Amino acid sequence: MKRPAASIVAAPALSRRRFVQGLAAGGVLLSLPPYARAAAATAGTHVGSAVVLRGTEFNLEIGESPVNFTGSPRMATTVNGSLPAPTLRWREGDTVTLRVKNRLAEATSIHWHGLILPFQMDGVPGLSFAGIAPGHTFTYRFKVQQSGTYWYHSHAGMQEATGVYGAIIIDPAQPDSLRFDREHVIQLSDWTDENPMRVLEKLKMRGDYYNHSQPTAVDFFQDVSRLGLKAAVDKRKMWNEMRMNPTDLADLSADVLTYLMNGVTPAGNWTGSFKPGERIRLRFINGAANTFYDVRIPGLPLTVVQADGVNVEPVTVDEFRFGPGETYDVLVKPQDDAYTVFAQAMDRTGYARGTLATHEGLVAAVPALDSVEWLTMADMMGAMSGGGMAGMDHSGTAAMAGMNHGSMPASRASTQVRHAKTEYGASTDMRVDMPRTDLSDPGIGLRNNGRRVLTLADLHTIGGPMDSRGAEREVELHLTGNMERYTWSFDGVEYGHSTPVHFRYGERLRVILQNDTMMTHPMHLHGMWSELESPDGQFQIRRHTIPVQSAQRISFLVTADALGRWAWHCHLMLHMDSGMFREVVVA
């Protein structure tokens, strides 16, 4: 992606704390342009730095704006001069018209994430349409067929990472079944001062370039004192022989990312207001390009009522993890004057942070980052005796003899692992023969942390599946990669060398995804709902983005009711750009 020189100049030396926390006043540097000021005047409502636009007719302009999050001015790609982009408020059943003008020197697009619409309106260059050329305007027009919390972002180049993302709130046609007194959108994202293509180049040279939580001599001697010399040596030898890193939880860390909440740095402290005793609806959106967030509000239970825009049976937790593309709506009832909204990155190198307060200026204590946990052998190799995490310890050592296929839970989806021939090539450095199939694992870093943590097993869509038919056939694909080469793929085949996946129009099919990598992938299928199954084959939840943990095998049902060409990809941007992307053709 070609970017102006201002976006790639070397940053001056910054203290780590200043880089991670950002500037208190960091964000878009210039005032809004005239068209954005006019929109703000008519809307009169703001979410963080984002104007809220309501109605059925919208004019959006994608251009560039100077920003400064870390002390070093950069250029961001923005919508109507805003980062995040304006929040769009629609009503279910309306037909919306969105005229998107491109003021960039390169093509652009907008994808309406999670929305059910004609494929020509989906906004993926090369599949849905040709993209929006510089100086041109594309008009999106479609009927809004759902309600809930969604979002939109560019699907062109690296523009999502450089600022083109915003929230979509769709009010239901009938009175909302959820009762609340006030609401706030909380859109999490991440920002890098580096040119994203340069970041990708560095990862291509060395996959762990930004991972500075490498095993150390101190770790080794701690293992010696806890496990004994021989076990500690064997453990280190095991990881070295596998040429894998047990702390490889994220490609990018706070060394290159600043974590944002509604476009505000941790030092800037986005604040959402409330009155004590009110029931507040918080609409969490992970609009990050590269970051899984673990979200909690210390001292305040979170009642999860919606996932990916769909109402679920309420479940109360202390914390939830979600990846790029996912959304969760929670209800809270604050009583004190201030609470910290804390969203730490999965790799524990930094966090986004804001405050719920009775008035501006109040703050609450900010928790310390949790310690980094190592991946276990179950995270690497799959099911142990008992089909879950049994036999594992915190260090990642395990008795490999405990593995057996017979211990895995029964499921309507086949549990017999089949690796495609294409998985035995240079694009794949790992294959899992005994995957985990459970949905009750919160994931590395969240296990047994003393807090109630949400899992996929906790979530149940109200009303059951949309289609009562069983599957007519199965489609199985493995999520694959090679960290040394920094390539990502399906079945060992990167997108540029792949052929489309074909769904027959109207069929009901079961999709099986098996993760043969060390990393969790948020998998997003455009245009159709994915109805996740439990390990025993029962309907669990309707999603548009499903996180698949390392060495995990999941299945979901899809009704192929949307004609056209659709994208299917990992929503970690650098994974998608490096090959974990497929075209799905429904015909």
Largest CA distance in the chain: 70
Residue 16 confidence (pLDDT):
65
With beta carbons less than 8 A apart as the criterion, state whether 90 and 53 touch.
Answer: no
Residue 441 confidence (pLDDT):
95
| Higher pLDDT pick, 415 / 346 | 346
pLDDT tens digit string along 505-542? 999 999 999 999 989 999 999 999 999 999 999 999 99
| Cis peptide leading into residue 266 (ω within 30°) | no
Which residue is associated with the tokens 């409330």?
274
DSSP string, 45-65: -EETTEEEEESSEEEEEEEEE
Cα 165 to Cα 343: distance, rounded to the nearest angstrom: 19
Q: Which residues pair with 295 in a beta bridge?
A: 320, 343
- The DSSP bridge pattern shows strands 487-490 and 473-482 to be antiparallel
- Dihedral sign, Cα of residue 411, residue 416, residue 420, residue 425: positive
Of the candidates 456, 475, 409, the one whose C-alpha atom is nearest the C-alpha of residue 436 is 409
Cα 9 to Cα 73: distance, rounded to the nearest angstrom: 10
Above 80 in pLDDT, residue 162?
Answer: yes
Residue 585 confidence (pLDDT):
98
pLDDT tens digit string along 546-562? 999 999 999 999 999 99
Residue 213 confidence (pLDDT):
63
- CA separation (Å) from 484 to 181, 252, 481, 505? 51, 15, 9, 39
> How large is the average pLDDT for residues 432-448?
94
Residues whose CB falls within 8 Å of the CB of residue 360, separated by 6 or more in sequence, listed in order: 271, 273
What count of other Cβ atoms lies within 10 Å of the Cβ of residue 363?
A: 14
Report helix, strand or coil for 163.
coil
The DSSP code for 410 is P
Above 50 in pLDDT, residue 281?
Answer: yes
- Confidence band of 50 (pLDDT split at 50, 70, 90): confident
pLDDT tens digit string along 398-431? 323 223 333 333 345 556 788 999 999 988 988 9
What order of strands is seen across the sheet that includes strand 327-332? Answer: 258-261, 182-191, 280-286, 327-332, 302-307, 310-317
Run of H or E residues at 581: strand 581-586
Above 50 in pLDDT, residue 468?
Answer: yes
Run of H or E residues at 152: strand 148-153
**Would the CATH topology of 5-177 be identical to that of 456-586?**
yes
Above 50 in pLDDT, residue 5?
Answer: no
Above 60 in pLDDT, residue 1?
Answer: no
pLDDT tens digit string along 228-259? 776 666 666 665 555 556 667 889 999 999 99
What count of other Cβ atoms lies within 10 Å of the Cβ of residue 467?
A: 14
Token reading at 350: 């930094």
Residue 378 confidence (pLDDT):
78
Cα 157 to Cα 577: distance, rounded to the nearest angstrom: 8
Q: What is the CATH number of domain 5-177?
A: 2.60.40.420
What count of other Cβ atoms lies within 10 Å of the Cβ of residue 105?
A: 11
> How large is the average pLDDT for residues 305-320?
98
Percent of the chain at pLDDT above 90? Answer: 73
Residues whose CB falls within 8 Å of the CB of residue 380, separated by 6 or more in sequence, listed in order: 242, 244, 396, 430, 518, 550, 551
pTM, entire model: 0.88
Of the candidates 455, 389, 438, the one whose C-alpha atom is nearest the C-alpha of residue 536 is 438
Cα 582 to Cα 567: distance, rounded to the nearest angstrom: 6
- Domain spans in the chain, listed from the N-terminal domain onward: 5-177, 456-586
Percent of the chain at pLDDT above 70? Answer: 82
Cα 146 to Cα 250: distance, rounded to the nearest angstrom: 33
With beta carbons less than 8 A apart as the criterion, state whether 417 and 423 touch.
Answer: no
What count of other Cβ atoms lies within 10 Å of the Cβ of residue 399?
A: 11
With beta carbons less than 8 A apart as the criterion, state whether 379 and 551 touch.
Answer: yes
- Tell me what the pLDDT averaged over the chain comes to: 86
The DSSP code for 80 is T
- Dihedral sign, Cα of residue 576, residue 507, residue 423, residue 429: positive
Residue 215 confidence (pLDDT):
57
Q: What are phi and psi of 5, to 5 degrees?
A: -55, -30
With beta carbons less than 8 A apart as the criterion, state whether 554 and 476 touch.
Answer: no
Cα 138 to Cα 334: distance, rounded to the nearest angstrom: 44
Residue 414 confidence (pLDDT):
59
Residue 23 confidence (pLDDT):
87
What spatial distance separates the first Cα and last Cα of the chain, rounded to whole Å?
Answer: 33
For domain 456-586, the CATH class is mainly beta
Residue 246 confidence (pLDDT):
64
pLDDT tens digit string along 354-398? 999 999 889 999 999 999 887 887 787 776 433 333 333 333 333
Token reading at 461: 């869509």
Please list the helix, strand and coil fractions of the chain in percent, rounded to the nearest 5, in that order. 15, 35, 50
Ranges 40-54, 334-348, 526-540: which has the least confidence:
40-54
